Amino acid sequence: MKSRRRTFIGLLAFAGLHFSAPTRAETPVFELEIRNHLFYPSELAIPADTKIKLIVYNRDPSPEEFESYELNREKIIMGNSKGIVFIGPLPPGEYPFFGEFHMKTAQGKVIVQ
Amino acid sequence: MLLTSVVILLREVLEAALIISVFLAFSHLLRFSRRWLLGAFVLGGVGAASYAAGIDRISSLMGGVGQEVTNAVMQFCIYVLLVVFIVAVTYRRGRGYDPGTLPYIAVFASVVLAITREGSEILLYLYGFFYAPQLLPPVMIGGAIGAGIGFSIGVIFYYALTVVPEAKRLPVGMAVLTLIAAGMISQATQQLIQADILASQRPLWDSSGLLPEESVAGQLLYAFIGYEATPTPLQVLFYFCSIFIMAASAGVAKWSAERLESL
């Protein structure tokens, strides 16, 4: 039991090392807009291996959910409002995202390069 | 529009429906009255409406990540309540006592929280269509179909659990609850990573080619065991820690109940 507990504390300490360092000030900011249930731009290029702060402006009156399985992100953004989503660091590639509430039209992708 | 609303309602209803069906299957064994369900629906509905109404203000808290933090806190609370439930039931049953009110409270509160979270998303989705009233009828029909499928899966799951012999039903149900609870912790971790409170890392693996998260099987597994196609190491670590803590707590409860019994 004791050694089990020690392993557990070890795991927690390991996890603690991964808590984010205070690098927030240098995080590059990118912006997206939702208009008429479409994303502008629909393709967003971001640098590889870099954490970015994405600000999504919803210019529609209706709420939208910014969602991506590839990016593991989901966030509700109310109408005429904005939402912040942190993305990355990511390896190069294409990461589709969509507006869950209007997924027929609200489609886009993040291109990491 | 119709298909979107089927998928959204199905996804949101499924998670709450699974927890509810496990608790319903337990109710008989634990001699619970099932009255909690109605109250939990009403209170959960009120919670969902309040959360939906305040989401803009909540989102702007803490530098724009209030939504993520609130969701993570709710999911963490559901996890803790499920641990309390399992520990209390194991301990009191081991001692041959009536399970008492603690598991009852844990059941009620966790279902209220689950409905609040999933329900608020449904309400916000539907609310958007008041700006496009011509789409409201197909959306409502699609939504009803999706919710119907979600509830049906819950009902099927309930009957599957009641078929399990009584002696085994409790351990089986607890194992299911443990996996659902671990899924909550994985989701909460995900939300805190999105909020940049926990560090973002490269995924530990990518099984999206094998089993895409957006597939039907992927969505079902997501609701049952918190399946993610590209989880980060931290998510996986917390997932397994949460299972370990749950199992260890239940083990200790069983052990101490048996020890007291033998005294």
- From A109's Cα to the closest Cα of chain B, the distance in A is 16
Q: Which of A113, A68, A72, A70 is nearest to A92 (CA)?
A: A113
9-48 in chain B: CB under 8 A from chain A: none
- Which residues from A are below 8 Å from B199, CB to CB? 18-21
CA pair distance B49, A36, nearest whole angstrom = 26
pLDDT score of B260: 84
pLDDT at A7: 52
Question: B80-112: string of b/e by CB count within 10 Å (b at 16+)?
Answer: ebbbbbbbbbbbbbbeeeebeeebbebbbbbbb
| Cut 0.80: pTM above it | yes
- Cβ A82 vs Cβ A56: under 8 Å: yes
- Chain A residue numbers touching B231 (CB-CB < 8 A): 72
Q: Contact B173/B25 with Cβ under 8 angstroms? A: yes
- pLDDT by position in tens, chain B (length 263): 688 899 999 999 998 999 999 999 888 777 777 788 899 999 999 999 999 999 999 999 999 999 999 999 999 999 999 999 999 888 877 666 666 788 889 999 999 999 999 999 999 999 999 999 999 999 999 999 999 999 999 999 999 999 999 888 888 999 999 999 999 999 999 999 999 999 988 889 999 999 999 898 999 999 999 999 999 999 999 999 999 999 999 999 999 988 887 87
Using CA coordinates, name the residue in chain A closest to B55.
A78
Coil, strand or helix: which one is A92?
Answer: coil
Distance of CA B255 to the CA centre of its chain: 28
Chain A to chain B Cβ contacts (< 8 Å): 110
Interface membership of A69 toward B (CB under 8 Å): yes
Quote the pLDDT of residue B3. 87
pLDDT at position B210 is 94
Q: Which residues contact B229 (CB under 8 A, 6 or more apart)?
A: A69, B206, B207, B208, B211, B212, B213, B218
Q: Using DSSP, how many helices (H) and how many strands (E) does chain B show?
A: 8, 0
Q: How far is A103 from chain B (nearest CA, A)?
A: 7
Q: Helix, strand, or coil here: A53?
A: strand
**Does the CB of B224 have a partner CB in chain A at under 8 Å?**
no
Using CA atoms in the order A16, A22, A28, A34, what is the torsion angle rounded to 10 degrees? 60
Q: Which of A18, A31, A36, A71 to probe the B interface (max B CBs under 10 A)?
A: A18
B-chain residues near A15 (CB < 8 A): 234, 237-238
pLDDT in tens, B141-173: 999 999 999 999 999 999 999 999 988 888 899
Query: For each of chain A's 113 residues, which pLDDT tens digit applies?
Result: 445 555 554 554 455 444 444 444 579 999 999 999 999 999 999 999 999 999 999 999 999 999 999 999 999 999 999 999 999 889 999 999 999 999 899 999 999 99
ipTM: 0.89
Nearest-CA distance A81 → chain B (Å): 8
What pLDDT, on the 0 to 100 scale, is given for residue B93? 73
Among A11, A64, A103, the residue with its CB nearest the CB of B241 is: A11
For B134, other C-beta atoms within 10 Å of its C-beta total 8
Whether chain B has a CB inside 8 Å of the CB on A37: the answer is: no
pLDDT of residue A106: 95
Contact with chain A for residue B125, Cβ under 8 A: yes
pLDDT at B263: 75
Contact A72 B230 (CB under 8 A): yes
Cα–Cα distance measured from residue A81 to residue A79, given in angstroms and rounded to the nearest whole number: 5
A75/B194 Cβ within 8 A = yes
Q: Say if A45 is an interface residue toward chain B (CB within 8 Å).
A: no
